[in-house]
Chains A and B, each alone.
Chain A
Amino acid sequence: MSFIEGTRFLLVFSLVSGALIFYMMTKVREGKYLPKIRPLTGLDAIEEAIGRATEMGRPVHFSPGIGGVTDESAPQTMAAMEILSYTSDLVAQYGNEMVVSIRTPNLFPIAQEVTRQRFIAAGKPEMFKETTVQFFSSEQFAYSARCMGFITREKVAANIMIGAFWAESLLIAEAGASVGAIQVAGTANLHQIPFFVAACDYTLIGEELFAGGAYLSQDKMELGSIAAQDYLKIVSIGLVILGALAATFQYDFLHQLLVK
């Protein structure tokens, strides 16, 4: 057994990070520590949006992004599934209609299962229809064209876009704005955040998306991992400061350590 060149530090850092995450999760589960997540207005607004949509008799649209479950955007897509779970529960409670639009084929059965189980758990199994979760297209702009057409024709009142988005983000968001929908969006794709900030009412930026599930469910294990993330950020800040000082005084030790 041997290490792949240039990955030792990464492996050690990953193991230490994982250990810290588990330690914090255990601490929170045992009740020794209860972290608080600051208010995320975007997520709080989802219930308001669904309530408004129900009063207006107009449907809700949910898009979990165009990323997949097997690529580097998988964490965002999984985070979107957590928020879909919460949204489905609310839609079932309010008795409204929702359409979940899917771009990635292998996300389709996952989204179907998440939504169906939530409707059943809410005691409204009959509300889940074949049209609740729809595969729109696996082509990026065909997907966005279908979303735009659906939002415009059905006059969606709440448009929730959480997940990995690329160039289609502004197109879908503007379609929602044109019909007066309340829009809640969130992505960790840096290049799309400005478009969401410009076009949507509420935006989750970067890791707020990943904290969404913990924030909504208040599950202790998830809260513990969020707390661990904050400690990891402190470690990262420490490394950044150390690296800046090392670079300023031309010491190479940190760079050598990182590429070990």
Chain B
Amino acid sequence: MDKLVNLDRRIIYFVMLVLVSLPLLSPLGIPLLITQGTRDMYEQLDAVPAGSRVLFSINYDPTSAPDIAPQAVVMLDHLMSNNVNVALVCFSAAGPNLIEGLMAPHLAAGKVYGEDLVNLGFIAGGETAIRNFGRDVIGTAKADYHGNDLKSMPILDGVTDVRDFELVVVFHGYNPGVQEWIRQVQGPLGIRLLAGVVSVSVPEVMPFYTSGQLAGLTQGLRGAAEYELLMDKPGTAVAKMDAQSLGHLAIIFFIVIGNIGYFSTKGKSKANKEGGEN
């Protein structure tokens, strides 16, 4: 029992590794409940009419991409399949390459750059850049990622500020992200803002969803899995949720055995103390 209190951490790491890896090789198919935030996100995106335009703000980097990129992938698939035009912008330096990666399969499948999709590239300046972009899209972005003139692109025809987009979806991996968009754009301009966030940021962003400032909220890899199920196209995100389930169970298991060991050694030391006193 003493060993349960001071278990070698390598045992914990090994068990975690095994339990997280196995479902990736052979998915278990554990059923997944859809949260209201993801339902709202799906309904909002599904209701966007064909031919109108939506803005994606890609605020994550390769480090957080495994948790949040699946959301961007599945939502872009949804909008492309509904013939909605999507402009993508980022406010972090790693963003443009990630946007290129998101657009590539759709451009290869026949979508036209400049009409169906555009990469507005990286706009430096953090929160100030978001504010300026919200009020003057073309003036702030100036050119797309490849240096092309934005005024000549059909997708941005008639766009002055972000209110000319049906809605804006912010994919938040780190700052500047959801809070900056809410402070600088959603509040003052009253746009319809939705957010996909990394799991660790969910508690921080939840107040904005419950207050109605965010019209939809998808939560990390789980959000992507839920969205895939709503699209009726279960993919890699759904498979990875099994790994998450087993990982959580492993942590709970170790917490339980740690407590068993703690109480048994506590009881033993109490008994020794009483025996010594007698």
Contacts and interface: CB of A to CB of B under 8 A. Distances in A.
User: Do A and B touch directly, given a CB cutoff of 8 Å in the complex?
Assistant: yes
Contact of A71 (B9, B126, B187, B204): B126
Given A140-B63, A191-B204, A6 B126 contact: no
Interface string B114-126: 0000000000001
Interface string B43-65: 00000000000000000000110
A191 B201 contact: yes
Nearest to B187: A259
A94 interface: no
A5 B163 CA distance: 15
B174 A166 contact: yes
B63 A141 contact: yes
A9 to B, nearest CB: 11
A72 B188 contact: no
Interface string B193-213: 000000011011000000000
A34 interface: no
Contacts of A178: 9
A101 to B, nearest CB: 19
Given A141-B63, A259-B188, A72 B175 contact: yes
Interface string A167-190: 100000000001000000000001
Interface string A133-151: 0000000110000000000
A36 to B, nearest CB: 31
Nearest to B180: A72
Most buried by B among A5, A141, A167: A167
Contacts of A71: 126, 175
A161 B117 CA distance: 44
B181 to A, nearest CB: 14
Please tell me the size bucket of the interface on B. 10 to 19
Contacts of B187: 6, 259
Secondary structure at chain B's binding surface: helix, strand, loop or mixed?
A: helix
Nearest to B131: A4
A140 B175 CA distance: 13
Given A6-B188, A140-B63, A190 B126 contact: no
B136 interface: no
A167 B200 contact: yes
Nearest to A174: B9
B16 to A, nearest CB: 13
B127 interface: yes
B207 to A, nearest CB: 10
A178 B64 CA distance: 26
B200 to A, nearest CB: 5
Contacts of A190: 203-204
Interface string B63-105: 1100000000000000000000000000000000000000000
A6 B131 CA distance: 12
A6 B188 CA distance: 6
B126 to A, nearest CB: 6
A13 to B, nearest CB: 14
A166 B63 CA distance: 12
A191 B188 contact: no
Contacts of A166: 174
A202 B172 CA distance: 30
A210 B9 CA distance: 35
A140 B94 CA distance: 13
B206 to A, nearest CB: 11
Interface string B1-28: 0000000010000000000000000000
Contacts of B174: 166
B5 to A, nearest CB: 15
A164 to B, nearest CB: 10
8 contacts: A6-B188, A140-B63, A141-B63, A167-B63, A190-B204, A191-B203, A259-B187, A259-B188
Counting from the closest, the 7 A-B pairs by CB-CB distance are: A6-B188, A190-B204, A191-B200, A191-B204, A191-B201, A71-B126, A166-B174
Given A6-B188, A191-B200, 4 more contacts: A72-B127, A141-B63, A167-B64, A191-B201
